């Protein structure tokens, strides 16, 4: 599974907020902003600080993207349906 923070960066764009202003508001480091930009894992403390300071909910700033189902599993599932 992967995490996407595209929703967060869309909010920043909509609010015309620079990353440095976002960092100052939330108290997170430039390295953490970089992790967010690259879809890397961050702590729940970071997520909480963003939500509290941006007055939003978790689902407003991130999205869980499930791993694709390998073709092998699809074939097995389709075969099981035919039984």
| Residue 41, pLDDT score | 93
Pick the CATH number of 2-82 from 1.10.260.40, 3.40.1190.20, 2.10.109.10, 3.30.310.10: 1.10.260.40
**Cα(18)–Cα(80) distance, integer angstroms:** 52
Domain chopping of the chain, boundaries: 2-82
| pLDDT tens digits, one per residue of 8-58 | 999 999 999 999 999 999 999 999 999 999 999 999 999 999 999 999 999
**Cα(27)–Cα(83) distance, integer angstroms:** 57
| Residue 79, pLDDT score | 53
CA-based Rg of the chain, rounded to a whole angstrom?
A: 18
Instruction: Check if the beta carbon of residue 11 is closer than 8 Å to that of residue 56.
Output: yes
| Residue 80, pLDDT score | 55
| Residue 78, pLDDT score | 54
pLDDT at 60 over 60: yes
């Amino acid at each position: 599974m992967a995490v996407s923070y595209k929703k967060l960066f869309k909010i920043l764009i909509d609010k015309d907020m620079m990353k440095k202003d976002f960092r100052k508001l939330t108290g997170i480091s430039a390295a953490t902003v970089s992790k967010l930009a690259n879809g890397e894992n961050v702590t729940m403390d970071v997520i909480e600080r963003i939500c509290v300071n941006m007055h939003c909910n978790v689902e407003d700033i991130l999205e869980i993207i499930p791993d694709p189902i390998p073709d092998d599993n699809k074939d097995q599932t389709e075969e099981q349906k035919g039984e």
